[in-house]
Amino acid sequence: MGVVHGEEMVLNIGPQHPATHGVLRLQVRTDGEVVSKITPYMGYLHRCFEKHCENVTYEQVIPFTDRCDYLASMSMNFGYVVAMERLMDIKVNERVEYIRIIMAELQRIASHLLCTGVFGLDLGAFTPFLWALRDRERILDLFELTCGARLLYNYMWVGGLSHDLPVGFVESTFKFLDYFEPKIDELENILAHNKILVERSADIGVMPKDIAISYGVTGPNLRASGVKWDLRKDDPYSIYDRFEFDVPIGQGLKGTVGDCWDRFYVRILEIRESVKIVRQALASIPKDGDVHQSLPKKIRPPKGSVYARTETPRGDLGYYIESDGSPIPYRLKMRSPAFTALSVLDEIGGGWLLSDVLAILGSLDIVLGEIDR
Amino acid sequence: MYRDFGTILFATVLAIILVAVPLFISWLVAPSNKTREKLQTYECGEVVDGSAWLQFNIRFYVIALIFLIFDVEVVFLFPWAVVFKELGLLALIEMGIFLLILVVGLAYVWVKADLDWVKRRVKYATGRYEKIAIKQEQ
Amino acid sequence: MTENQQKLIDELVNKGLDGDMDAVNAHQDRMVRAKAKSMIMKIQKGILKRPPLKKISPEEVPNGDIVQNQEKKENKQESTSAKVVRKLLEKFPNEIENEEFDSHIQLKPDKWFEIATWLKSEPELFFDSLQCQMGIDVQDDILESRYNLHSMKHNHYVELRIAVSRSNAKIPSVEKIWRVADWFERETYDMLGIEYIGHSDLRRILLPDDWEGWPLRKDYQEQETYHGIIVPKMKEGWE
Amino acid sequence: MGLFTNKFQDNIIVEKLDKLLSWGRSTSPWFFQFGTACCAIEMMAAAASRHDLKRIGMIPRSSPRQADVMIVAGTVTMKMAIRVKKLYEQMADPKYVVAMGSCATSGGPYWQHGYHVLKGVDLVIPVDVYVPGCPPRPESLIEGLLKLQEQILEERPLTRKMA
């Protein structure tokens, strides 16, 4: 029986939709079930971040970077701070570097937890979402212990930190890690090897290696396609080269390399790597060293520009800062990893069923605050 | 024998009442202002462009037909199953023949590949979706 | 410290400041090496003046002392842009506008598409991923589009800049070469109004289609209302 | 009090239909998942296992047709404002709005230079309860929702309808 096409209708998986993780509108051409073309419309959360960066001083930009990727605000601060310290040639002491690594890796665990939970939610599994958020709450308690905020921290300043670690932080983090280790296996057993989830995500939304590179996809999505590219190893910033951890890439255990299941499973493996890093960092954190030591009184970077990249849970985040010597940045461009991850959706999403498209979107793990800036 | 039908009548009347009274109360009490925007179709907050009344693919009709056949078959099975004990061996053989004919129909539909539901072409398909991958030119 | 050792240190310091630190590290005398390095660090911090260059050639002496913003990555990348410039000069002679290539290469817009294809296809450079493309409003009449290219294979990285005037801001689009440029260029068009010739569907990506003005230009005025909603912060008593 | 109060045994309650109606509406207002930005994550955390919103009878619904309360969680931009207005119109009638977070209340940290940010969602739709905070903690969101339930309890829908 030849391929008989019916007419195609335009369906808006619109700005308000539980599966779009925020305000993203997918205009989908479908004949009722099979999706032939997806055009994402963004900008529903364009909060003029770059215009703000041209009107506020360098210290005041940090809370705005928090709000760009509100699921991984520590990593956003970290990216901005690394770029500024490279621009102003500031060297922070050892203790600050260690605390930053611990916070960034804890934030990676929290962000990946929420992403895997919501991916299960997209495919209809509600309980793992509650488990993931229950464990994530414990990490938010640790953040609240140090800097008082649950979600948006303004914790890493240019040249130091806002607060030092509270008394008992190291012990409570160790306690959390011991509690958390079996929980990852539990989450993996209920979700990763679940027949329904495997059926709905293996072999679906395959992203080949060259498509991923040409679309500029980075982070877990790129690693799931088999490219071993992790900024913490390939372009090491801060003191990541002191810790030994490996970079998990997609092997196509349940289907082919680079399908939805791989992107999902790579994140669970990365949670384990981050736990390893946090353990090593906590073990060898220097006791002395003031976190406010190299905070500059007045941030006036020299005239010039810098482009620095760091590894956030969604990919490599680049800050291009152009300064003209005044305390207010002349231009700040944030290269957002989720922005490029979304641009590949039409390429790998065409031709699948409507429900598969939502599984592909969930596996790409996009955050709209960072896409629209 | 007639008493049985009495209970059925009572059950249907009770059902009707239990549905009608809440509906009436809600019509009486609930606020209702049918504005123009409210009555528009909800599409995630977007203005609806194009309509869903379009010519669907023929495969939906074929599958509906196949479903109808086997549904009617089940309808015949129910009364037979209720009085199955009294009828003895003869009914069993008749129903066996009836089911056999339908199984032959099912086999025919299966072989004609009307059951693999979706005809689609995917750009990067490997593994079990290999057969529906668009053959790359290079 | 003997006279020639001092001269040797000055010479090493000059070389170090010009970017090839390995000459300083290769020097076998430990004390001279240490002295040269400490002088370089002091000069970089701006405490010490740069020692006078031995062979003073007119155009090489820059105006005033150079406080080079040197750091580890810049050295590695500098050799890349120097390499790219050397190869560029052979292929496209009159395309480069700026002289000192420490951080970026300035290009003219008209031949940019061929340069871009060549940058990607050249096996020796092989820039296969466009890391970040941004637009910036430099002076009152110049808009600049900056490209940060990176090569996965050689792991080196270069920054190219193309300046156009504000009136006819037209740059050839590189969407066909790096697929990621499709959305980056749409965003730069949306924010700054730089037109990319040859782009498949150049329209606003973040702002609604009927938004007036280019927000990231320095002389941007907010529009009064949008669909009847007051845009600027009009609530009284807020200031 | 009414003619028939405490005439019967103690576990029979006689009350006006009005109060019964508003009591019914106040105990289980289903909220409409309208999360745009960071506050949406705090709303999710409020609805998840530790601070459970189902304890106070609030079930997340994703379509305006089945929801009573619209929690505007996060920044509303100009492009989104038109959609917010349309979604509010499409909600079934006893509907309430909770503006969660300082972005929905007044544009939040983006009010000064945010040309594309709506300076407060009450420019577009009527708001019943404002929950301050950026993002507000789940406890303060639940406190705001309890305030809303008290407000619904005070309503007298029938007398208003008769008048």
Q: How far is residue A307's CA from residue A317's CA, in Å, rounded to a whole number?
A: 10
Place of tokens 């509406």: D25
Cα A319 from chain centroid? 15
Q: How far is residue A133's CA from residue D47's CA, in Å, rounded to a whole number?
A: 10
pLDDT-based confidence at C75, cuts 50/70/90?
Answer: very low
Averaged over A185-210, what is the pLDDT? Answer: 90
C234 domain-assigned: no
The per-residue pLDDT for C62 is: 38
Buried b (16+ CB within 10 A) or exposed e, B36-64: eebeeebbbbbeeeeeeeeeebebeebee
Which residues in chain D are closer than 8 Å to A134, comparing Cβ atoms? 48-50
The per-residue pLDDT for B52 is: 77
The per-residue pLDDT for B135 is: 57
pLDDT-based confidence at C40, cuts 50/70/90?
Answer: low
Averaged over A263-289, what is the pLDDT? Answer: 93
Which residues in chain D are closer than 8 Å to B42, comparing Cβ atoms? 63-65, 90
The per-residue pLDDT for B137 is: 40
Q: Please report how many Cα atoms fall inside a 13 Å half-sphere around the Cα of residue A231, on the Cβ side.
A: 21
Look up residue B92 and give its two tokens.
Answer: 């069993």
**With contact defined as beta carbons under 8 Å apart, do A268 and A188 qualify?**
yes
CA angle D24-D30-D36, nearest 5°? 155
The per-residue pLDDT for C15 is: 63
pLDDT-based confidence at B117, cuts 50/70/90?
Answer: low
Q: How far is residue A309's CA from residue D99's CA, in Å, rounded to a whole number?
A: 36
Which residues in chain D are closer than 8 Å to B43, comparing Cβ atoms? none
pLDDT-based confidence at A171, cuts 50/70/90?
Answer: very high
The reported pTM is 0.84
Taking the Cβ of residue C106 and every Cβ of chain A, the question of whether any pair is shorter than 8 Å is answered with no
Domains and CATH numbers, chain D: 28-162 (3.40.50.12280)
Burial of B74 from C-beta contacts in 10 A (0-12 / 13-18 / 19+): exposed
Q: Give the other-Cβ count within 10 Å of A204's Cβ.
A: 26
Residues of chain D with pLDDT under 70: 1-2, 5, 161, 163
C65 domain-assigned: no
One domain, residues C44 and C79: no
One domain, residues C123 and C197: yes
Range from A278-287, B2-11, C222-231 carrying the lowest mean pLDDT: C222-231
Q: Which residue has the higher pLDDT, C229 or A136?
A: A136
The per-residue pLDDT for C26 is: 59
Q: Which residue has the higher pLDDT, B100 or C39?
A: B100
**With contact defined as beta carbons under 8 Å apart, do A216 and C180 qualify?**
yes
Return the closest-CA partner of residue A95 out of A281, A279, A277, A245. Answer: A281
C237 domain-assigned: no
Chain A residue with minimal CA distance to B116? A1
Contacts of A345 (CB under 8 A, 6+ apart): A26, A38, A40, A357, A360, A361, A364
Identify which of D112, D115, D123 has the shortest CB distance to residue C229. Answer: D123
The per-residue pLDDT for C60 is: 36
Averaged over C81-104, what is the pLDDT? Answer: 73
Give yes or no for residue A326 having a pLDDT over 50: yes
Handedness of CA D153, D155, D158, D159 (dihedral sign): positive
Taking the Cβ of residue B111 and every Cβ of chain A, the question of whether any pair is shorter than 8 Å is answered with no
Q: Do B123 and A351 touch (CB under 8 A)?
A: yes
Q: How far is residue D163's CA from residue D160's CA, in Å, rounded to a whole number?
A: 5
Strand C170-172 versus strand C157-165 pairing type: unpaired
pLDDT digits (tens, 9 = 90+) for C156-179: 888 888 888 888 888 999 988 888
The per-residue pLDDT for D115 is: 87
Burial of C27 from C-beta contacts in 10 A (0-12 / 13-18 / 19+): middle
DSSP conformational letter for C104: -
Which of B41, B117, B119, B120 is the best residue to mutate to test the A interface, defined by the most A CB atoms within 10 Å of its own CB? B120
Determine the 3-state secondary structure of C144 from DSSP.
Answer: strand
Q: Which residue has the higher pLDDT, A135 or C59?
A: A135
The per-residue pLDDT for C66 is: 34
The per-residue pLDDT for C19 is: 56
C163 domain-assigned: yes
- How much of chain C is helix, strand and coil, in % rounded to 5? 35, 15, 45
Averaged over A250-255, what is the pLDDT? Answer: 87
Q: Do C234 and D78 touch (CB under 8 A)?
A: no
**With contact defined as beta carbons under 8 Å apart, do A87 and A320 qualify?**
no
Look up residue D105 and give its two tokens.
Answer: 């209340």
Give percent of chain A above pLDDT 90.
Answer: 58
The DSSP secondary structure of D40-97, one letter per residue, reads: HHHHHHHHSSSS-GGGGT--EESSGGG-SEEEEES--BHHHHHHHHHHHHTS-SS-EE
One domain, residues C34 and C100: no
pLDDT-based confidence at B71, cuts 50/70/90?
Answer: very high
pLDDT digits (tens, 9 = 90+) for A29-77: 888 788 888 999 998 999 999 999 999 999 999 999 989 999 999 999 9
Q: Any alpha helices (H) in chain A, and if so which ranges?
A: 49-53, 58-68, 73-88, 94-122, 127-147, 169-187, 195-201, 209-214, 220-224, 231-234, 260-283, 337-343, 345-349, 354-364, 368-372
Residues for chain C: how many in total? 239
User: For every residue of A167-236, which 3-state class applies, written as one string?
Assistant: CCHHHHHHHHHHHHHHHHHHHHHHHHCCHHHHHHHCCCCCCCHHHHHHCCCCCHHHHHCCCCCCHHHHCC
Return the closest-CA partner of residue A322 out of A78, A60, A53. Answer: A53
Q: Do A46 and C128 touch (CB under 8 A)?
A: no
Give yes or no for residue B100 having a pLDDT over 90: yes
One domain, residues C207 and C99: yes
- What is the pLDDT of chain C when averaged over all its residues? 73
Return the closest-CA partner of residue A17 out of A117, A115, A118. Answer: A118
Q: How far is residue C90's CA from residue C110's CA, in Å, rounded to a whole number?
A: 17
Residues for chain A: how many in total? 373
Which of D115, D117, D119, D123 is the best residue to mutate to test the C interface, defined by the most C CB atoms within 10 Å of its own CB? D115
Contacts of A159 (CB under 8 A, 6+ apart): A81, A84, A85, A88, A90, A92, A294, A295, A296
Q: What are phi and psi of C163, to 5 degrees?
A: -105, 135
One domain, residues C122 and C211: yes
DSSP conformational letter for D117: B
Averaged over B99-110, what is the pLDDT? Answer: 91
- What is the pLDDT of chain B when averaged over all its residues? 83
CATH code: domain A9-372 is 1.10.645.10
**DSSP β-bridge partners for residue A3:** none
Q: Do D75 and A18 touch (CB under 8 A)?
A: no
Q: How far is residue A108's CA from residue C225's CA, in Å, rounded to a whole number?
A: 41
**DSSP β-bridge partners for residue D33:** D71
Helix (H) or strand (E) holding A333: strand A331-335
pLDDT digits (tens, 9 = 90+) for D114-140: 888 988 898 899 999 999 999 999 999
Look up residue B47 and give its two tokens.
Answer: 């203005």
Chain C residue with minimal CA distance to A230? C152
Count CB pairs under 8 A between chains B and D: 31
The C-alpha torsion from A145 through A185 and A134 to A279, rounded to 10°, is 0
Averaged over C29-35, what is the pLDDT? Answer: 66
Which residues in chain A are closer than 8 Å to B52, comparing Cβ atoms? 9
The per-residue pLDDT for B24 is: 93
Give yes or no for residue C32 having a pLDDT over 60: yes
The per-residue pLDDT for C238 is: 52
pLDDT-based confidence at B1, cuts 50/70/90?
Answer: low
CATH number at residue C206: 3.30.460.80
Q: Do A207 and B119 touch (CB under 8 A)?
A: no
pLDDT digits (tens, 9 = 90+) for D96-111: 999 999 999 988 898 8
Q: Do C129 and A320 touch (CB under 8 A)?
A: no
One domain, residues C44 and C107: no
Range from A75-84, B63-72, C44-53, C184-193 carrying the lowest mean pLDDT: C44-53
Look up residue A101 and give its two tokens.
Answer: 């690594």
One domain, residues C97 and C200: yes
- What is the pLDDT of chain A when averaged over all its residues? 90
Identify which of C129, C136, C207 has the shortest CB distance to residue A43. Answer: C207
Q: Give the other-Cβ count within 10 Å of A36's Cβ.
A: 15
Q: Which residue has the higher pLDDT, D162 or A360?
A: A360
Contacts of A24-27 spanning 24+ positions with Cβ under 8 A? A24/A342, A24/A366, A24/A368, A24/A371, A25/B44, A25/B46, A26/A345, A26/A357, A26/A361
Which residues in chain D are closer than 8 Å to C233, comparing Cβ atoms? 107, 111-112, 119
Give yes or no for residue B96 having a pLDDT over 50: yes
The DSSP secondary structure of A232-261, one letter per residue, reads: HHHS--TTGGGS---------SSSSTTSHH
Chain A residue with minimal CA distance to D60? A18
Least Cα separation, residue A260 to chain B (angstroms): 12
Q: Which residue has the higher pLDDT, B75 or B128?
A: B75
Give yes or no for residue B7 having a pLDDT over 60: yes
**With contact defined as beta carbons under 8 Å apart, do C9 and C32 qualify?**
yes
The per-residue pLDDT for A276 is: 94
pLDDT digits (tens, 9 = 90+) for A110-128: 999 999 999 999 898 899 9
Give yes or no for residue A157 having a pLDDT over 70: yes
In total, how many domains does chain C have? 2
One-letter amino acid of C204: R
Hey, where are the domains in chain A? 9-372
DSSP conformational letter for C58: G
Give percent of chain C above pLDDT 90.
Answer: 4
Supply the range of the domain harboring residue C34.
Answer: 3-54
DSSP conformational letter for C42: H
Give yes or no for residue C210 having a pLDDT over 60: yes
Reported ipTM exceeds the 0.90 cut: no
The per-residue pLDDT for C13 is: 64
